[in-house]
Amino acid sequence: RLELSQSSAVVIEDSGPGVQAALAAGIPALAVRTPFNVNHDFSRAVSVLPSLEDASRIIRIIDSTFVPMPALP
């Protein structure tokens, strides 16, 4: 258990139900397309990524979309 607040977390998900579960928990979600989820509804995801290969793009999306977490003591 990470013990993070919803505002300090982001979910990276590859299924429509996973995106919906994250949103129901109050956590924003990034969706990742795969050949297996082409019919999944990712319309409520913050962004839909074509793959996880471009880690720098994922980091840029997170940095530009979410409020930074306060530094730990």
Q: Residue 38: what pLDDT?
A: 93
CA–CA distance, 3 with 56 (Å, rounded to integer): 26
Phi, psi angle pair for 50, to nearest 5°? -75, -20
Residue 70, pLDDT score: 59
Phi, psi of 18 (to 5 degrees): -65, -40
**pLDDT tens by residue, 15-72:** 999 999 999 999 999 999 999 999 999 999 999 999 888 777 778 877 777 666 555 5
pLDDT tens, 16-31? 999 999 999 999 999 9
Contacts of residue 41, Cβ cutoff 8 Å, sequence gap at least 6: 16, 19
Tokens at 29, concatenated = 């979600």
Q: What's the pLDDT score for residue 67?
A: 62
pLDDT greater at residue 37 or residue 4: 37
